[in-house]
Amino acid sequence: MLQSPAAMMCLARGPAGAGTIASAFSTIVTVRILGGLTSKLLFSFPADLSAPVHDVKEMITRIVGIPPREQRLVSPGGLAPAGHQRGGGVLENHRTLGDALGVGTASLDTVDLQLVRLPGQWAARLEGIATGAVCFEDLDEASHDDSEMALAAVQRNGLMLAHASERLRGERTIVLEAIRNQPKALQFASSDTQGDREIVLEAVNEDPAALNFAAPSLQADREVVFRAVQAGGQSLKFASQDLRADPDVVLAAMRSAWRALEFADPALHSDRSFMLRAVRVHGSALLHASRELKGDRELVLSAVRRSGWALSCASEELRRDRTCVLAAVLNNPAALHFAAEELQDDPDFTSISRGATGRGTVAPCGQGPPCTLL
């Protein structure tokens, strides 16, 4: 039975009590439902462009009794923001009506949608995938090559991209939905899609380690790598050799996680100018300095002033240097543990250590025992 215009307007505006402010900014349009094969007008009703597509389907159910899972709504030509026709497509349940049509909340009077009724068994399977009641990975090849089933699967678990057909693992819409759910799903995308800059940027924004699965060309892309290492310094290990030798990229990674220096080009570990910058980011960067630079007094002083633990990485000679030891102990009283043995009982240093109220620990820079020079 058809709903009365008043009842349908209530559905379009949402639940009672939503507030006059919200309704003042809503955009009500007339939705004209056309036959999927004939494009003949079947019925129409008012709806809000900000309403989810699923709510529009619920309204259709109330009017003609077709369950939402058996409905496919298609925009015959779509609508551009200015109201001009453009390429159509299937409207996805989770999007708002305006977004699905590509019009946002633009000022429109009428929207045309074609209604296609899906076979009940197919629709039940699709709904089962979306809810997790049906395991996508256990279905047949035809299901794995069905774009709507694959989309429902990756929206629930992005890693289900691994079970989609080769064709669909190269489909941008499906891959984007997969990485939005689980960025590491990028590993299952086609090689062409792994080289899609927009997709890779979205993946590394969510999980910097997804850089591991980007195409080599994007692992060598400075902007992409910068975005990744700024969010997670350890992702530097997945960057190209050239970018792991780029001082600015490495320092950006260190600001996120100083241990990222481990993955820098070894030549930087012997570069005095670079290491001076590195220890200013984090004193414990001295751990990765070359043997020669661990004996550089200026470099070591700069390091221990920022992290007393760095004294454990200094040369034996500098661990006897009273100025270096004092700077380290002032930063972290427990650093006295790494000074030369004859200084560990020196009253000038022990008084600082005894006066500390629980500051510091005896852990060296890095993990494990203090650095040793071989």
| Domain containing residue 80: CATH number | 3.10.20.90
**In this structure, are 112 and 131 located in the same domain?**
no
Assigned domain for 279 exists: no
Assigned domain for 226 exists: no
**In this structure, are 130 and 67 located in the same domain?**
no
**In this structure, are 15 and 92 located in the same domain?**
yes
As a whole number of angstroms, the distance between CA 197 and CA 212 comes to 14
Domain region containing 327:
295-355
State pLDDT tens for residues 339-352: 999 898 888 788 77
pLDDT > 70: percent of the chain = 83
Q: Is the pLDDT of residue 367 over 60?
A: no
**In this structure, are 113 and 145 located in the same domain?**
no
As a whole number of angstroms, the distance between CA 222 and CA 286 comes to 26
Q: Is the pLDDT of residue 299 over 50?
A: yes
Rounded (to 5) percent helix, strand, coil in the chain:
55, 10, 35
**In this structure, are 103 and 127 located in the same domain?**
no
**In this structure, are 110 and 24 located in the same domain?**
yes
Assigned domain for 247 exists: no
State pLDDT tens for residues 154-209: 999 999 999 999 999 999 989 999 999 999 999 999 999 999 999 999 999 999 99
- What pLDDT sits at residue 106? 59
Neighbours of 373 (CB within 10 A): 11
Short-list 58, 42, 47, 54, CA closest to 110: 47
Assigned domain for 216 exists: no
Assigned domain for 203 exists: no
**In this structure, are 83 and 52 located in the same domain?**
yes
As a whole number of angstroms, the distance between CA 29 and CA 120 comes to 30
For residue 327 the two structure tokens come to 């700077």
- The larger pLDDT score, comparing residue 123 to residue 289, is at 289
Mean pLDDT of the 12-36 span:
61
**In this structure, are 168 and 151 located in the same domain?**
yes
Assigned domain for 107 exists: yes
**In this structure, are 140 and 130 located in the same domain?**
yes
Q: What is the DSSP letter of 125?
A: H
- What pLDDT sits at residue 365? 53
- What pLDDT sits at residue 251? 98
State pLDDT tens for residues 67-112: 988 898 998 864 433 333 333 578 887 788 988 888 765 567 899 9
- What pLDDT sits at residue 104? 62
Q: Token match 């100083």: residue?
A: 258
Mean pLDDT of the chain: 85
**In this structure, are 84 and 153 located in the same domain?**
no
Beta carbons within 8 Å of 106's beta carbon, 6+ residues apart: 27, 49, 79, 81, 82, 83, 98
- What pLDDT sits at residue 26? 55
Q: Is the pLDDT of residue 361 over 80?
A: no
- Tally of domains within the chain: 3
* Residue 298 · residue 350 · CB < 8 Å: no
Short-list 326, 321, 371, CA closest to 353: 326
pTM for this entry = 0.70
Name the E strands within the chain.
28-35, 41-48, 71-75, 89-90, 110-117
Q: Which of 156, 176, 194 is the last residue of a domain?
A: 194
Q: Is the pLDDT of residue 144 over 90?
A: yes
Burial annotation 202-229 (CB, 10 A radius, 16+ → b, else e): bbbebbbbbbbbbbeebbebeebbbbbb
Confidence of residue 271 (pLDDT cuts 50, 70, 90): very high
Q: Is the pLDDT of residue 360 over 70?
A: no
Residue type, 9: M
- What pLDDT sits at residue 105? 53
Assigned domain for 136 exists: yes
- The larger pLDDT score, comparing residue 5 to residue 251, is at 251
Least confident of 73-82, 134-143, 211-220, 316-325: 73-82
As a whole number of angstroms, the distance between CA 137 and CA 82 comes to 42
Q: Which of 63, 87, 118 is the last residue of a domain?
A: 118
Q: What is the DSSP letter of 135?
A: -
* Residue 339 · residue 311 · CB < 8 Å: yes
Assigned domain for 366 exists: no
As a whole number of angstroms, the distance between CA 119 and CA 87 comes to 25
Q: Is the pLDDT of residue 127 over 50?
A: yes
Q: What is the DSSP letter of 167?
A: T
- What pLDDT sits at residue 103? 77
Q: Which of 118, 135, 164 is the last residue of a domain?
A: 118
**In this structure, are 103 and 183 located in the same domain?**
no
**In this structure, are 39 and 92 located in the same domain?**
yes
One-character DSSP codes across 291-317: TTGGG-HHHHHHHHHH-GGGGGGS-TT
